[in-house]
Structure 1
Amino acid sequence: MSDSVVALFESLVGAEPPHDVPVLFDTACVMGGSIAGLLAARVLSDRARRVVIVEPDDLSAEAEPRSGVPQGHQVHTLLPAGRLWIERWLPGVSREAQARGASLVGPDKQFVGHDDIRQIPDGADHQFLAVGRPLLERLVRGRVTALPNVSVLRARATGLRYGDGSVIGVRFAGPGTGERAEGVLAADFVVDAMGRSSRLSNWLGLDGYDQPRLERLESPVNYATALFERRATFSELDVATVLQLFTPRYPSGGVSVAAATAVEAQQWLVMLMGYGDNRPGRTTDEFRARCSSLTTVLRDVTRGDVTREVVTYRQADSRRRHFTEAGRLPARLVSVGDAVASFNPVYGQGMSSAALHASCLASYLGSGPDLDAAATDFFRLQQVVVDAAWAVSAGGDAARIDAENGTEVPEEVRRQRRLIEHIVGAALIDADVSRAFNNVSYMLRHPSTLFDPELLEKAAAATEGAATEGATTEGATKT
């Protein structure tokens, strides 16, 4: 991977809001009020006189996830890259979330385990926001819709209108049968943030444009999540976020990943994940039993009373749409968030990816683009982000599935996977390697930085030293 791609990725991670920029649009429309849509609307608020978010769900609901977010009951953690970006563009969100009971978790209260081994702290001050998805979305939505030029139209986007090769409007149907049940919203720029089930590709095909190629990685994952009473306050906790990853050889009863976060309302939000036919913890008793058989920390956090019964979620595959390969697309149209790429949620990259897609939009609009041509430059920027997230999440899933199925893979793929396994092993015992690995996992740095020769040499020295020490200890014990 070239240095320019790494530098570009990191510039998107660290992007600041612009100041005194020219207005490009009279009306911009965002189809979808998800985190991705809200962050895109925040970027557009600097560039349009009016931004309209078209969203079919009732956004006045306070406690429950929107029906358009079927994974909203599951564990969500805002990775450092996403949290920092959102803080720059919507200052004070983390503080407000904490005031509502969410946890800002520093390295002293993070627990990452691989089988029975805890990953060594990396010495960096990486902070997660441990928060329920409904609360975070509500806080972000409150900030964005409070902007004087942003509004929400409760309706479902049903298609696009075109003129001279550009999108000029969004067709919509309202939730009721009143006078605004159907209509067209004139728009100078449109963002598709309709999520994993977006129908934009279908619309483009029906309207005579190219449909972006859809890539699927079959990786059936099953989630079970429950809420437990947390008697200790955040300051009293030794650990506030837990992530345990289990290899196929570990006797985990089909659990591949377990996670727990100290969230609002003095609760633990706890998740178990299994691949394929493994559906862990479908009842509270089974859930507790699985946790108690894994690690002490998971047993401890599930001792409290259940405040919400087990909720399950299944996702059959990871998917991405290759907009950069589409030869003919209308101008003034982009797509963001899960509408472009959706991964195994256990990696926690969804909301941070959404933030970086918004960063791509800000960079594109600030580059003086030809708005009467397809937004190819935007999709190329976005591909840098998607490739990075795909390498971590989909790459990890593919490696596990290939290993379990005995699938033959090309030698280059095998070599890269061996290097990653080497890095992961060294991250358990070497702080420098741990920091480099975490920077990639947290979307602060590009995955190609893990293949830096100096880092690989350090990882080799760390694992060789650990192996030598282990052999010496074993020999002394036998003696």
Structure 2
Amino acid sequence: MAFMDLDHLLSEPTDAVFETLVAVGPVEDAPLTIDTAVVLGGSVAGLMAARVLADHARRVVVVEADALPEEAAFRAGVPQDQQVHTLLPAGQRWLERWMPGLTREAQDRGAPFVGPEQAITAFDGVPQASEGEGYHLLALSRPLLEVLIRGRVAALPNVSFLRGRATGLGYRDDAVSHVHYLAAGGDADDRDARTIEVDFVVDAMGRASRLAHWLDDSGYDRPALERLEAPINYATALFERPVKFADLPTAGALALYTPRYPSGGVSVAAAQAIEDDRWLLMLMGYGDSRPGRTVDEMRSAVADLLPFFATVAANEPVGDVVTYHQAESRRRHFTDLHRFPARLVSVGDAVASFNPIYGQGMSSAALHASCLATYLRGRPDLDTPARAFFALQQVVVDAAWAVSAGGDAARLDATNGVEVPEELRLQRWAMEQITAATLVDGAVTDAFLQVTYMLRHPATLADPALLARAVAAGERHRQTP
């Protein structure tokens, strides 16, 4: 097993730390430093954490309140799982390293692996320029991805699943020592309340995690919660897809519209071919904009967008339109806590949840798992708080927050006429130059995609040579008749 010097890694530049985390893979013959590890939450982030822990613990138990179906099916505990989910290259590569053959298995189940020649990304109706081979995106429904990952994790000999709802933690010598939970069907007053002795706990309870309250009640520091008010409204519908994936000239599109573009209140439109010969079409609006609650309303909304969306919506609908509302992006800060129990970490939406349209949630969860693997590979003192883990994780969270929450904040400030500090104004101006240049310069597009696909850190876009190229490309574009 390759030892990871955590102090040395954390002394490296932020973009170098990020790229190390992107590249982390499993190791053979890792020493078992943990007896019983418990993951609270059996969604994607929890499953990825369980996969990492399986290399370091004698036993891994995943505690999940929902009944976990053997086949792809929507779950009450994942309210957004009927919306568009695209696995970005960073997440797809992580899964393929840790669960070899998962991409092929998804394709065998009908999930398209969409190459750049079949994909469109457009800003205000203008497609991005492309250069080189580009990237492939695994397009599938969230339930199918989750059941594929869960099947791989459940097949590990030291991983088991327990249906129940976690209700709190117990501590010994300032380290987590117990998980309290209610067995399926139990409530707080009956005899189904139970306890597991543990050596390590991962909070993967999602956006509504109760960990902060448990810590506060037990006298530990509560991680500060940062909120960005960015109210978004989704409308998603399934349509039949009569044309096979291989015969589609376009299999996926993402179109973003600024407030000045006459898009009928649609801020983002996305459509992709998924399994079962279906299309998944999603429209998103900010604030009071509701992009459609019926199929007819969605068809009307896409009439003035890229023609591809109208082509998708013209097919026979499958079921009703599903809506989703999210009032804010949020993140919890763990790096500045003074009193925090040992043998405890948080991952996924329990740490940071963003506007889902950027597609960074699942890939962020994969990189959080990579942080956990890197931390455990560094042979840390598990009887002290996992500060090195949270420092690594902050690199990932900052990167995703800069892209998604930063984009939302810029849009809302512009819409509301908010004055912003000069430094922030210059940062946003630079990003506008990069984004505009992607419409005419394939090299700038590639650098931009590496960041949005979570393969490289956003700091790489601040390279003076890249920014100069972007400004020059934009100027040439403006002077072209």
Where on the TM-score scale, by shorter chain, does this alignment land: which range?
over 0.9
Q: Distance in 2 between matches of 1:61 and 1:271?
A: 27
User: Any stretches of 5+ residues in structure 2 without a counterpart?
Assistant: 1-9
Partner of 2:312: 301
Q: State the superposition RMSD in angstroms.
A: 1.4
Partner of 1:477: none
Aligned letter for 2:87?
L
Q: Distance in 2 between matches of 1:50 and 1:142?
A: 17
Contact 1:27/1:187 (8 A) holds in 2? yes
Partner of 2:221: 210
Percent identical among aligned pairs is 61
* Of 260, 275, 288, the match for 1:264: 275
87 and 180 in structure 1: CA distance in 2 versus 1, 3 angstrom threshold:
farther
Partner of 1:476: none
Partner of 2:28: 19
Residue 195 of structure 1 deviates from its aligned partner by 0.1
Partner of 1:103: 112
Q: Distance in 2 between matches of 1:426 and 1:416?
A: 16
* TM-score, normalised relative to structure 2: 0.96
Is residue 453 from structure 1 mapped to residue 453 from structure 2 by the alignment? no
* Of 226, 229, 233, the match for 2:237: 226
Aligned letter for 1:455?
L
Is residue 444 from structure 1 mapped to residue 455 from structure 2 by the alignment? yes
Partner of 2:64: 55
Q: Distance in 1 between matches of 2:249 and 2:13?
A: 41
The DSSP-based 3-state class of the residue aligned with 1:324 is coil
Contact 1:158/1:173 (8 A) holds in 2? yes
The DSSP-based 3-state class of the residue aligned with 2:389 is helix
Partner of 2:197: 186
User: Any stretches of 5+ residues in structure 1 without a counterpart?
Assistant: 474-479
Q: Distance in 1 between matches of 2:133 and 2:387?
A: 37
Contact 2:72/2:147 (8 A) holds in 1? no
Partner of 2:143: 134
Is residue 355 from structure 1 mapped to residue 355 from structure 2 by the alignment? no
* Of 193, 202, 211, the match for 1:200: 211
409 and 225 in structure 1: CA distance in 2 versus 1, 3 angstrom threshold:
same
Partner of 2:385: 374
Residue 462 of structure 1 deviates from its aligned partner by 1.0
Residue 3 of structure 1 deviates from its aligned partner by 6.4
Is residue 161 from structure 1 mapped to residue 170 from structure 2 by the alignment? yes
Q: Output one character per residue of 1:262-281: Cα deviation in whole Å (capped at 9) or x when no partner.
A: 00110000000000000111
Partner of 2:398: 387
Residue 181 of structure 1 deviates from its aligned partner by 2.1
The DSSP-based 3-state class of the residue aligned with 2:302 is helix
Map residues 22-171 of structure 1 onto 2, 5 A cutoff: 22-60=31-69, 62-171=71-180
Q: Distance in 2 between matches of 1:57 and 1:394?
A: 30
Q: Distance in 2 between matches of 1:61 and 1:284?
A: 30
Aligned letter for 2:409?
A
Q: Output one character per residue of 1:404-437: Cα deviation in whole Å (capped at 9) or x when no partner.
A: 0001110000000000000000011101100000
Partner of 1:278: 289
Residue 302 of structure 1 deviates from its aligned partner by 1.1
Contact 1:319/1:341 (8 A) holds in 2? yes
Q: Distance in 2 between matches of 1:419 and 1:162?
A: 48
* Of 436, 443, 450, the match for 1:432: 443
Aligned letter for 1:370?
D
Residue 395 of structure 1 deviates from its aligned partner by 0.0
Residue 60 of structure 1 deviates from its aligned partner by 2.0
Contact 1:222/1:273 (8 A) holds in 2? yes
Contact 1:26/1:188 (8 A) holds in 2? yes
More divergent stretch after superposition (27-36 vs 455-464) = 455-464
Q: Distance in 2 between matches of 1:151 and 1:87?
A: 22
Q: Output one character per residue of 1:232-279: Cα deviation in whole Å (capped at 9) or x when no partner.
A: 101000111110001111111110000001001100000000000001
Contact 2:239/2:279 (8 A) holds in 1? yes
Aligned letter for 2:459?
S
Aligned letter for 1:460?
V
* TM-score, normalised relative to structure 1: 0.96
Aligned letter for 1:86?
L
Q: Distance in 2 between matches of 1:234 and 1:288?
A: 22
The DSSP-based 3-state class of the residue aligned with 2:103 is helix
285 and 2 in structure 1: CA distance in 2 versus 1, 3 angstrom threshold:
farther
Contact 2:169/2:180 (8 A) holds in 1? yes
Map residues 313-328 of structure 1 onto 2, 5 A cutoff: 313-328=324-339
Contact 1:124/1:435 (8 A) holds in 2? no
Q: Output one character per residue of 1:208-255: Cα deviation in whole Å (capped at 9) or x when no partner.
A: 000000000000000000000011101000111110001111111110
Residue 2 of structure 1 deviates from its aligned partner by 9.3
The DSSP-based 3-state class of the residue aligned with 1:294 is coil
Q: Distance in 2 between matches of 1:3 and 1:45?
A: 28
Partner of 2:409: 398
Contact 1:79/1:129 (8 A) holds in 2? yes
Is residue 250 from structure 1 mapped to residue 261 from structure 2 by the alignment? yes
The DSSP-based 3-state class of the residue aligned with 2:239 is strand
The DSSP-based 3-state class of the residue aligned with 1:135 is helix
Q: Distance in 1 between matches of 2:149 and 2:191?
A: 27
Contact 2:235/2:291 (8 A) holds in 1? yes
Contact 2:206/2:350 (8 A) holds in 1? yes
Contact 2:130/2:443 (8 A) holds in 1? no
Residue 177 of structure 1 deviates from its aligned partner by 4.6
| Aligned residue pairs, count | 470
Partner of 1:414: 425
